[in-house]
Each structure stands twice: as structure tokens, then as C-alpha cells.
Structure 1
């Protein structure tokens, strides 16, 4: 079967001749894309002169406004990241002030940055007006692209595609059109690396451009229906990886591995992926690599977030493949995150990690019919109720009561001689049901009613067996 990428190469050859298959202009493919409104902030840092700054910004705004689907305008605001605290702390002010500006101006995306005079470039960052995950980095808002003061066409093509990828998507078809354009315009596997002018493009800029190109293709693959979209993304990632050395730029290397892990995770989640288990293992290896740079000591919250990412990935695989080993592995990674997410310092993170760990153990126990995992799950759910109280977090409290009830019910079915388990399970189910009924959660109340009936039936059976044993 001809791959999607090969089809795009064929189209690209036609583009070089100046027309598409219908004899229209090279960007006819893009004509029905709705405009994305972009604000371009003045970058932080010093310029040689006001004229130089004006030339740089105009050299960006004018070409972008010539592109289909974009409306770019400048703002005099300057945004700065701090150099203290976690990565999230460093971007906290920009996230708050940037989104406020986007809302005020009615724009979709903010591009802000910092002048890198030694690289003759600006490091541009992307902030979507919609709160959400565009999957463009670790964390997403830290993703950036180095663009030379005098950008060549390849750099502008990648920036153009990155603008769309950085927006939280509302129309997946837009992403695919941008992907088609990017592949056809720059061909990230051969044409882009060779086409970046050595005079304008230093090695760090080349790495940044290739990286963003790979990330955009990965982002598009995630939104696409066809598994074939992952092929060019994987090849672009390999090109990016070959340009980055861990010893020289450890954070850049960690970023590559974080993206690589995410890409394999997305592949494994695709319904047509026949190598899901293999891709999950590759994702885990890449995420583990990230943790050699973002360590519990140097970046504790980032490290803990990666543990949660691996754990969640394994839990999903365990459920979808009915594979208990993945559920056990998920529980181990959730537990590792508790080295950072302590109950005292981060009570909500702790409760969330404990809840997920307990769910993985509960499913594992149900799957292998093992009492040990179920008992551990029950203890964990009980502990979580110290944080998720009915007064402060009623919805989480009710869900935890429901899960604890299911765990105790499973234990009671394994060992009918222990009446206390089934009685406690019924108490938990009834507590959760009362909340669901009071708050209009009709479907959840209906489901829990069935569990209550089954649990009540088991309780009656247990009591009857005990009575018969006494009579005999």
C-alpha cells in the first residue's frame, strides 16, 4: 500500500511546478481553513537599534499574514519567564497575563519570546487562548522555536505549521491540512535539513526547527484517523534525535525523549495499532530516559508527573488488553510518584495518585482473582478518604466510596466467611448512591443500584450459610 507520506511527496512534486492536481495555486489545498488570530508580542532583550527590531517584527508579521488561514498582528506587551522554581512556576506569570490579553484582544494564540543575540535568532514560545493540552512539550507551554532574525522559507513554513499545532484544536481537519502543507512544503526527512541555509541557520536553530517540525507532525498524527500519519512523524523524530547530544544539552535531549515517548503512547492508543504492547515498552524507555535528566532532586514535580504519565499509560493498556502485568506495573509507578506527592505537601496530588494506584490494584485483583491486590486497594481507598471528605470534596468522596465498595465486594466473593467485608461494601455503596441521587447523577445511581442488589444477595447467602453451619 502506498503510504500517506509517499502520496504527499507526489503532491509535493506537483507543487514545485506551481499547481495542484486541479491546476490551481500551490496553496489551494488550504483555502477553506478558518483564520487563526495570532498576537505577536515584542520579544524580551536588546536589539542593535529600534530599526532592527522593527525590521525583525515586520519580517515575521508580513509573511505570516500572506499565509492562508492566519491573521497576525503585533502587541507592545513584553512577556518574560522567570528562572526560579519548577518549569510551571517559571511560566506562571506568562500564562496568567498572556491568557488575559488573548481574551481581551479576542485572539487565539500568543507568540512571545526572547532575543538570542549569540544565535542571531528569537526564541518564540506559543500560548493558546484556550486552556488545554496541545501536547507540544513538557510542559506544553514551554515548547519553543528558534527563528533567525532573517528567516528562510523553511523556518517560516515550520513556524506557520507550529502556530496551528499550538492551538488547542477544535477542528481536526485543520490540523491535517496543515500537516499536508508542512510535508509538501519542507519535506522534513530530506528537504528541510538540507534547505536550512548555513549562513542564516546555526546548529541550535537547525535542531530547534527540526524538533518543532517533528512535534507538529506528531501532534497531527494524534488528531488523524489513519495510523499512517505516524510514519513521517517517527522519521522526523529520528532526524531530530540524531542532532541532539545528552551530554551537551541534557534538557533538549530530555525534551526529545519526552516527545518520542508521547508519540509511541499515542500510537499504542490507536485502534489499528497491531504492535501496541511493543510501542508501550518503547514509550516507557523514553520516559525513563527523561527521568535521568528531570530527577526527583532537581525537578521533583516534573519527575513525579512523568511517573504518573507512565502509570496512566500502563493502566490503560492493562484495561484494554486485559493484561494484569500492566496493571501491576501501573500501580508501581503510581506509588513511585508518592515519593514527591506526599500527603502533607501535596494532599490533592497524593490523593489522586493513591486513588489511581488503588484502582489499578483493584482491577488487578479482580482480573487474577488475587486477595493481596484487593486488600492493598482497599487500604489505599480508605486512606484517600482522609483527604476526600464529604464536606470538602463530595464528588471525589462518593467515587472513592463506590470504588471501596467494589473492592470489598470482590473480597467478600472470594471469602464468603467474612461477613464484615460485605456489610462494609453495602455501607459504601449506599453512601455513594445517596450522593448520586441527591445530585442528579441518574446513570451512576442506576449502576450502583445493581451493585447493591448483588451485594445484598451475597450478604443473604453468606448469612444463610453461616446459619446452616451452626445448625449442623
Structure 2
């Protein structure tokens, strides 16, 4: 259990609403005020007292915090790492239990028919009865906002999925397909699924059939998120039926955008191809993709996804391995790209190399069905996704060949993904390419590879900024700093080392100890390393080096405190060694003698 504690004074901000999170907190001393944004300013929603926890589910999903937290008086919080939360989650049944024995039906009780699903008009929220709910019984009280926010022990909530009318304007005769019936069929295929509530939405998506979906993604996502937020829903499914009207291409909009550049991330341009009127054999595949495409907005929904996604993927995998032969090669490729994203998402959630290996295989199978000439955007996205999971696998192993394969995949993707047409995807591929080049350089000590990695990071920073993507921007700045300190040491160049230290300081303006202790400590450690290397080079040049040495020691101490508190023993040991080296250099600079060994203090024997 983590022993890292943070202390705040009266009025101090602990974290902000919608800030990303990779840890939770337990209130040890004092009280914490929680507020959310309202139409007329901040609204007080709760006062959290000692013993309560903050943001458990949000930390598990690394999603945004649901409220802002501020200290009321002097406050002490214990940091709860995501690793500790995962261990707790595995021991607790957070998700809906589908294995319980069904209650026997009383003979005198007539069956209650399921009501015909009603349409939602202009975002009017109307709950639809589901087959797995029993209307005759009073509804159980839902977990309160405070329970969800504070991480109380409760069963997972169902995620609310809206299905918008399917677009048929591509067809020469749009009326030849009953789009409403197809949307209804889609809903009926999902209505019995664990963890989901499904509703039909009546308003048409603002989509121009004459323009490619990739170029309308921003506007469509903005519209969809507005509808979802208004109705406290989680995912919008929409799509189009192109000629010859045999396939529907489903697209997904999550109410909460994915703010980190993780493997398996969905965007509006990616579509799941399913046959019109698809059979039940496709349902597990669809549900797996839904769980992967949704960023849950509450703790309960986050824990539901964590509990169910790997199970549904395991059920769908045999079908995806042997898709029906009547599907076209492009349709099979789209299915496998989306399912690969589901595998990569589950691998990220569960830290599973097995799931990541399978994701890589599925992406490769998709690429075997695609050509760059026929489907350039889909081909490039599959290459980028493949590179991302290979990179994760390389981080868990020593295989340089896996890193080289990830570099090949990113370079292939960048032949299609341009900054002009695909700015975010281009920047993501550049950042990940830089990471793979940097890691390969650490094994080969190739100076040119380090230079290429820095160039890739600088390219990514042309798109990511502290304003539009602050957390990803901070990640890229930290990556740049790591590569720059290596190049600075290789070239013995103080200017490059100073840039590395400055990049760390900029990253720390976003990576705070409160919202991301691991990230904050990692950047402090990188800052210490850059300053230590800078001091060594200055000493070699007979220049003053005491200031960067003192700053390096301070940075290492800050990192060591967090790693020790989080029981990150290996990281604490490495940081402790770094600190000892800096302190030794300071002692030598100040002319202090080396400490005497134990036997040197013992009196000489006669």
C-alpha cells in the first residue's frame, strides 16, 4: 500500500475539473471541497471528510476528473497509485454479475412484454426498458454522484449508447433502404448485452455525403458530444450505407474524448463494416468495439468496462479470426482494424502482453487485406496502430527487432498521414516514431538516430501545444528532453543539455505532483539527469557547475520522495543512485574528504 502523502494549505487547489488522472487520493486529515462548473459559476457538490476516497474510477481509466477539489483548512491526502487500485478492483466484483441463478418465475405472474423502443427527439432523454430489467419491481436506487466521485464500493453502471439514423444519401435511390429499420435492428442486437443501455436518437447526423468522413470528423464529433453531454450518455453510434447497399459502416463518438495518445484510440474516421441485417455472430465483435470506443464518464462505468472488455473480446476472437468468406477484403480489414483497437485498449487497461501480441497479429491480418492505393487512410491508420502496439511490446522486452518493426510501421503510416490532412494522427505518429528511435538509440548508441528522434518530437510539437493538448504536449516535451540529454552527452554540448533541462521545466508546468505523481517524478528525474550531465560538461570546460549540481540534487530528491511513497522500489533505487552521484560530485567540488570506512575509525590493535 502506498505511503506517499501530500499536504495542502487552506484554499490550495488539489486538482481541477476535467484534469487527466493516473492516481486516486484518500483523505487522511482535514476536509476537501468538491465543485463542478455550472451556468453561473462553480457549484459546491460535496465536502469530503477523512476516510473517504477521491477519483478511484477516474484513475483506473486515466480519464478526466469529474470535479475540482480544493483544501478546506490544512489537508493531508494519501496517494493511491493505479496499480494499487487495479489490485483492489480484481478482488471486488464491480461489474454486473451475469452468472447468478435467475429467480424462479411465480406461476401467477404474467410475463411483462418489453415496450417498443421510443425515439428521442432533439436530445429528449427517455429511458427504454431492457430485457434484463424487471419492470414489475421497484428500481434500485442508483449510485449517487458522491458515491461515483468518491469511489465508493458499488456495482458498475451501464454505459448509455445512442444510435443515430443511418445515412443513405450516398445511394442513387436512398428510399430503397429502410434506415430506421436498420438502426432498430442494430439496437435490438445490443439490448440484451451486459453493461449497456441502448437508445435510438431521431435527429440526423450533420454529414455531407459528398465529402469524405475524415474531413468532417471535427464537426461531427462536436455535434455528437453536445447531444451526449446534454443527455448524460456515453457513446453515439452513427454511420452510412454506401452503394451497393449491402454493408453499413458504423462510426463512434465518445462523450468524453480520449486525451492521451494510447494504443487503440478510436476516431470518427474509423468505421466498423457490418453486413446489413447482420446476424448474432457479429454481436460480440460489435460490443467489444463499443467498449473500446467509449471513454466512460463515471467511476461505475469505468469499472464496468474494465470488468467486461476482456471477456467479450475473448468471445469474439474466434469469429474475427475466421470471418465469413462473403465479406469483401476491405470489409474484413475494417473489422480487424476496429477489433485490433479493442484488443489494444484491453491490453492497455490490463497491462497484458498477450492481448497486445494478439492486437499486433490482427492489425497485420488487416494490412494483408488492404493496399495503400485502394484505401490509403485506412491502410495508414492500421500501420500507425500496429506501430503503437509493437512499441508497447518493445518496452516490455529487450528485442531490438520489435522496435525496428515499430519504426517501419510509423514510417509507412507517415507516407500517407500528412500534417495538412491528418494533423493529430500525423503528430501522434511523429511522437511515437521519436520514442522508438530514441529507445533503439539507447541500445545501439547511434548519434544519427538520436537526431532523427529529436526531429520527430519537434514535428509533433508543431501540432500539439500547451493550449490545445496540454497533457500530450507535456509528454512530448518530456520525450524531447530525454533524447536531448542523450545527444548532449554524446556530443558534449552544453547548449543541447540546457535545452533538455528547459524542456523538463516546461513539461513540469503541466505535469503536477497532485494530478500525476508518477509523471511528475519521472520528469523531475529527467531534469536531474540533464542538469547533472550539464554540470559534468561545465566542469570539463573549467566552468562553474555548483548551481546545476544543486538543482540536480533537488530534482532527484523530489522524484525519490514520490517513488518511495508509491513503493516504486526499482525507480526509487535508480533515483537514489543518481542522487548519491550528484551529492558525491558536490562534496568533491566543496573539497570534502570521502567518508571514512567503518574500519578506519577503529583503534589500531597493539
Q: Do both share a fold (TM > 0.5)? A: yes
From 369, 382, 388, the equivalent of 1:256 is: 382
What are the within-5 Å matches in structure 2 for residues 34-45 of structure 1?
Answer: 35-45=158-168
Residue 282 in structure 1 maps to residue 408 in structure 2 = no
Please state if 1:293 is matched with 2:416. Answer: yes
Contact 2:166 2:180 in 1 (8 A): no
Alignment partner of 1:182 out of 316, 325, 328: 316
In the TM superposition, 1:116-265 aligns within 5 A as: 116-132=242-258, 140-168=267-295, 170-171=302-303, 172-184=306-318, 186=319, 188-190=320-322, 192-194=323-325, 198=326, 201-224=327-350, 226-230=352-356, 232-265=358-391
Q: What is aligned with 1:60?
A: 186
Contact 1:315 / 1:326 at 8 angstroms: preserved in 2?
no
Where 1:91 maps in the other structure, the secondary structure is helix
Cα–Cα, structure 1 residues 242 and 402, in superposed 2: closer, same or farther, change >3 Å? closer
Residues 145 and 212, structure 1, Cα contact 8 Å, conserved in 2: yes
TM-score of the superposed pair, with normalisation by structure 2: 0.55
Q: Which has the higher contact order (CA 8 A, sep 6+)?
A: 2
Deviations along 1:299-331, whole A, 9 cap, x unmatched? 45533331211222444677xxx6363897355
TM-score, with normalisation over the residues of structure 1? 0.68
Cα separation, partners in 2 of 1:407 and 1:213, compared to 1, 3 Å: closer
Give 1:203 deviation, angstroms.
4.5
Q: What are the Cα deviations for residues 128-162 of structure 1, in whole angstroms up to 9, with x where unaligned?
A: 23332595767634322123332233443322221
Report which of the two has the higher share of strand. Answer: 2
Quote the offset at 1:454 in angstroms: 7.4
Q: Distance in 1 between matches of 2:374 and 2:529?
A: 51
Equivalent position SS for 2:252: strand
1:284 partner SS: helix
What's the RMSD between the two structures over aligned residues?
Answer: 4.9
Q: Kindly indicate whether residue 412 of structure 2 is the aligned counterpart of residue 307 of structure 1.
A: no
1:327–1:361 contact (8 Å) kept in structure 2 = no
Secondary structure (helix, strand or coil) at the match of 1:140 reads: coil
Using the TM superposition, give the Cα deviation of residue 39 of structure 1 relative to its aligned residue in structure 2, in angstroms.
0.8
Distance 1:407 1:354, change over 3 A: same
Q: 2:545 aligns with which of 409, 417, 422?
A: 422
Q: Do structure 1's residue 378 and structure 2's residue 504 form an aligned pair?
A: no
Query: 1:459 Cα deviation (Å)?
Result: 5.6
Alignment partner for residue 94 of structure 1, among 220, 234, 238?
220
Report deviation, 1:228. Answer: 3.4
| Structure 1 residues 72 and 347, CA gap change in structure 2 (3 angstroms) | closer
Assess if the C-alpha contact under 8 Å between 1:328 and 1:361 holds in 2.
no
Separation in 2, partners of 1:393, 1:164: 29
Matched position secondary structure for 1:118: coil
Task: Give the 3 Å change call, closer, same or farther, for CA 251–168 of structure 1 in structure 2.
Answer: same
State whether residues 225 and 255 of structure 2, in contact with CA within 8 Å, keep that contact through their aligned partners in structure 1. Answer: yes
Q: Give me the whole-angstrom Cα distance separating, in 1, the residues matched to 2:204 and 2:372.
A: 32
Task: Give the deviation of 1:105 after TM superposition.
Answer: 1.9
Does 287-296 or 45-54 show the bigger shift? 45-54
Q: 1: distance between equivalents of 2:412 and 2:334?
A: 20
Q: 1:130 and 1:95, CA in 2 relative to 1: closer, same or farther beyond 3 A?
A: same
Q: Spell out the pairing of 1:404-419 with structure 2 (5 A cutoff).
A: 406-414=529-537, 416=539, 418=541
Give yes or no for the alignment of 1:360 onto 2:480: no
